[in-house]
Amino acid sequence: MKITLIGFMGSGKSTVGRELSELLGFPLLDLDRLIVEKTGKSIPEIFESLGEEGFRKIEASVLKENLLKGGSGIIATGGGAPAYGENIEVINRHSFSVFLKTPFEVIWERISRDENRPLVKLGREGVMELYRERLPYYEKAKLIVECEGKSPREIAREIVSKLSLNEGEGRASPEGQGWQT
Ligand code: S3P
Per-residue pLDDT of the chain (181 residues; tens, 9 = 90+): 999 999 999 999 999 999 999 999 999 999 999 999 999 999 999 999 999 999 999 999 999 999 999 999 999 999 999 999 999 999 999 999 999 999 999 999 999 999 999 999 999 999 999 999 999 999 999 999 999 999 999 999 999 999 875 445 444 443 333 333 3
CB atoms within 10 A of CB 68: 11
Check if 78 has its Cβ closer than 6 Å to any atom of ligand 1: yes
CA-closest residue to ligand 1 atom 16: 9
Q: Are 8 and 14 in contact (CB under 8 A)?
A: no
Cα separation, 24 vs 107, whole angstroms: 27
The secondary structure of residue 27, as a DSSP letter, is P
Q: Which residue from 32, 45, 128 has its CB within 8 A of the most atoms of ligand 1, so it is best to mutate?
A: 32
For each of the domains in the chain, give its residue range(s) and CATH number, in order of start: 2-180 (3.40.50.300)
DSSP per position, 75-93: EE--TTGGGSTTHHHHHHH
Q: Are 27 and 8 in contact (CB under 8 A)?
A: no
Q: Are 67 and 90 in contact (CB under 8 A)?
A: yes
